[in-house]
Each structure stands twice: as C-alpha cells, then as structure tokens.
Amino acid sequence: MQDGNVSPLSADTPSAPAESGEVRSAPEVEVVSTHVLVAEEQVQKLRELSRRTRIAQSEYLREAVEDLLAKYGRGGGQT
C-alpha cells in the first residue's frame, strides 16, 4: 500500500539521523511510505537487532526487500 507521499531524495540531502546520531546521505531514488503487518515476535527481534547494531529498522527492511527481489527476479510477474 502506498500513501502517495512521494519524496525524491538526492545524495546531497541527508536522511533522518540514525539512532546513533549519525547523518547518512540518502540514495538518489524516489521513496514511498508503505504499511505492512508483521508478527509481534518478529517486530521485537527486529527492534533488538536494530538496537544492538545501531542500524535503523528501515535499513534492514529495505535490505530484506532487495534480497527477495534478487531471489525471485526483479521483472515481476514471474511465478
């Protein structure tokens, strides 16, 4: 689900500061907000991983999406 709030980001526009206070450069892509339902146990584990590593949960979720797209193909419609 997309909320329609598309926000183009450029490399010279810093993203939101990471939990460690570090400011990272945003990728040169358009990003959209999405909403997903995740099991409570997975959310707790993701929070703990994020806290321990100081890597934002959103970074892990984007990585997971990239892994899935690589696994199943980026062309879409493949079964």
Domain-wise residue ranges, the chain: 1-33, 36-79
CA separation for the pair 67, 63 (Å, rounded)? 6
Confidence of residue 73 (pLDDT cuts 50, 70, 90): confident
| Cβ-proximal residues to 69 (8 Å cutoff; 6+ apart), any chain | none
List, for residues 25-45, the tens digit of each pLDDT value.
666 889 899 999 999 999 999
Predicted model pTM: 0.57
